[in-house]
Amino acid sequence: MGGRALLATLAVLCGCGSAQTRVRLEISAPSTPVRELMLDVLVDGVGAGSFAVPADGSAPSLPGSVVVVLPEAEAEVSLTLHARLVDDRTIDRTTHTRSVMHETVTVSIDLSENLPDPDLGIDLGSDAAGPNDLAMDLSTDGAVDLKPPDMTLPPDMVCAGYCPAFRRVISVTNNASTTLPVGFTIRVPMGSLLTTLVPTKLRADFRDAHVRVNTTEFDRLIDATPPGSDGPAIYFALKAGIASGVTSTAHVLYYADVNAPLPPSNGKVIFPLYDDFTGPIVSPWTSSGTPTSSGGLLVLKGNTGDALSADPAVTGLGTRGIIEISMRISSISGAADANGFYWWYGFQDALTFNQPWILWIARAANTFGVEIKGTAGCASCIPAVLAQDTVAKRYRIERDGVQTRFYVGGNLSQQYADTDTSVLGVRISCYEQSAELQATFVRGRATVSPGPTVTVGPELAN
């Protein structure tokens, strides 16, 4: 299987910091297959651990590589391989090197059966670990700290699950006058980067794109193909606040591992209001009528007064927020209810029909538009309507305490200066008498003005 045969069995994550001191050991194959392979590591003459290669103790397929992540200091490193062949003969080989801070030192061991046990070639280049190399983290910033002077590593020092080849630092600058709180949703604009990286460095399903702070994995949601001018983006929620005027570079995007496990991507952890309608209707929704939710589809039937409401005390969006829904109307030839409504979606007093409200709304079968009533900036703002069809669209409303903006299909449709501070909930209603409102997701997040500046840095090799 060539030089990557062993690697395919050792796809694991080193859990390293952004600047790593490492030794990469290239292992050649003997003519007789190896049944068991162990690696002993000594750092400055002190045993730092003995590891099965691969970690589950199964028979390795050689040749291959092992990456050992070391403490952030220069040290003398000895690597000894103990190979047991399928005919029960043993081969022991040792090589020595000196680690270089923040660099990868590459050494090799030849397991050929007719060789003595020499020290072999050393390359002080900075070549990065391959995306599937076995990685052992002996560093103080890794998943398990090295605790001098005993330097004995527990079995879980061998990393498991994910070993990306590249990373990019995400910078988040808080431009607001208040602290961005824990749980605040960050939108990372990716531009053309996602599609540029596929397929040479990033899987087409993006499962190898993970967001981390040090060794902590974050739930993240990738919106790879949004409509209109929105552009691809990655979303995650802050686990630590960012003070006013401060730029955080703690968050890092890792990628490039063909064997990557699925990253955590729970939208309800990332957004204060999120539903992809894969299960039954639960909190924060209060339902009216008989709406249904399953298999990624919400269905509201107008002739039964179906609606979903989310109280602001539950969503936490308060006086400022961004809400978005992807939805369609199954027909535009139906009839309105007795009040002349067909459907609406947006901010309002969630459990009543009282003003103020800030909505996308249809008051005719084949048109829809925006409507603001009773707010500080708009006693009654009802602009020209747009043509309605049965194609699914994204409808978004943004309130930031300065402006209210309406987007459809990813493009700005209307905006109004509005400093309204009403605490509003979210409501989705269908009044169409012979059609359904069908939605595939709703998501809402808090916002501030001015919003944070979020950028993605250059590519760095791990």
Question: For residue 281, what pLDDT is reported?
Answer: 96
Q: Which tokens go with 233?
A: 């983006």
Q: Per residue in 412-436, pLDDT tens?
A: 999 999 888 888 999 999 998 989 9
C-alpha 195/C-alpha 420 separation (Å) is 39
Q: Are 111 and 61 in contact (CB under 8 A)?
A: no
Q: In sequence order, what are the residues at sequence separation of 6 or more whose Cβ sits closer than 8 angstroms to the Cβ of residue 150? A: none
Question: For residue 282, what pLDDT is reported?
Answer: 93
C-alpha 29/C-alpha 345 separation (Å) is 64
C-alpha 190/C-alpha 234 separation (Å) is 7
Q: Does the pLDDT at position 29 exceed 80? A: yes
Q: Does the pLDDT at position 322 exceed 90? A: yes
Query: Which position has the token pair 């605490």?
Result: 423
State the amino acid at position 315 in one-letter form: T
Q: Does the pLDDT at position 3 exceed 70? A: no
Q: Does the pLDDT at position 124 exceed 90? A: no
> pLDDT exceeding 90 applies to what percent of the chain?
47
The pLDDT-based confidence of 288 (bands split at 50, 70, 90) is very high
Query: Residue-wise over 379-409: b if at least 16 C-beta within 10 A, else e?
Result: eebeeebbebeeeebbbbbbbbeeebbbbbb
Question: For residue 74, what pLDDT is reported?
Answer: 83
Comparing 189 with 43, which gets the higher pLDDT?
A: 189
Residue 192 burial (C-beta neighbours within 10 Å; 0-12, 13-18, 19+):
exposed
The pLDDT-based confidence of 156 (bands split at 50, 70, 90) is very low
> pLDDT exceeding 70 applies to what percent of the chain?
84
The pLDDT-based confidence of 296 (bands split at 50, 70, 90) is very high
Please report how many Cα atoms fall inside a 13 Å half-sphere around the Cα of residue 242, on the Cβ side: 26
DSSP three-state, residue 404: strand
C-alpha 60/C-alpha 103 separation (Å) is 27
What's the mean pLDDT in 138-147? 35
Instruction: Out of 4-18, 105-119, 149-163, pick the least confident.
Output: 4-18
C-alpha 102/C-alpha 241 separation (Å) is 29
Query: Chain-wide mean pLDDT for the chain?
Result: 82
How far CA 395 is from CA of 399, 440, 443, in Å, comes to 14, 12, 11
Question: For residue 115, what pLDDT is reported?
Answer: 53
Q: Per residue in 200-246, pLDDT tens?
A: 899 999 999 999 998 789 999 999 999 988 999 999 999 899 999 99
Comparing 345 with 69, which gets the higher pLDDT?
A: 345
Instruction: Out of 96-105, 272-281, 295-304, pick the least confident.
Output: 96-105
Taking Cα atoms as reference points, which of 408, 103, 108 lies closest to residue 228? Answer: 408
Q: Is residue 194 within a helix (H) or strand (E), and if so which, with residue range?
A: helix 193-197
Q: Per residue in 48-80, pLDDT tens?
A: 877 888 877 788 888 888 888 887 678 889 899
Comparing 350 with 156, which gets the higher pLDDT?
A: 350
DSSP three-state, residue 203: coil
Q: Does the pLDDT at position 390 exceed 60? A: yes
Query: Which position has the token pair 């939108």?
Result: 187
Instruction: Out of 48-57, 267-276, 307-316, pick the least confident.
Output: 48-57
Comparing 163 with 122, which gets the higher pLDDT?
A: 163
How far CA 4 is from CA of 209, 228, 331, 379, in Å, comes to 22, 42, 55, 67
Q: Does the pLDDT at position 293 exceed 50? A: yes
C-alpha 398/C-alpha 421 separation (Å) is 13
Q: Does the pLDDT at position 339 exceed 90? A: no
**Domains in the chain: ranges and CATH:** 2-157 (2.60.40.1120), 166-267+449-461 (no CATH), 274-445 (2.60.120.560)
Find which of 32-46, 119-133, 143-157 is predicted with most confidence, using mean pLDDT. Answer: 32-46
Query: Which position has the token pair 């020209």?
Result: 384
Q: Does the pLDDT at position 122 exceed 50? A: no
Q: Does the pLDDT at position 133 exceed 70? A: no
Question: For residue 441, what pLDDT is reported?
Answer: 97
Taking Cα atoms as reference points, which of 369, 363, 366 lies closest to residue 384? Answer: 369
State the amino acid at position 59 in one-letter form: A
DSSP E strands in 190-312: the ranges are 210-213, 216-218, 221-223, 233-237, 247-255, 273-275, 285-288, 292-294, 297-301, 307-310
DSSP E strands in 352-452: the ranges are 357-364, 367-373, 380-381, 386-387, 393-399, 403-408, 411-417, 425-430, 436-445
What's the mean pLDDT in 287-316? 91
Query: Which position has the token pair 């952890």?
Result: 269
C-alpha 84/C-alpha 358 separation (Å) is 72
Q: What is the DSSP string of 310-324?
A: E-HHHH--TTSEEEE
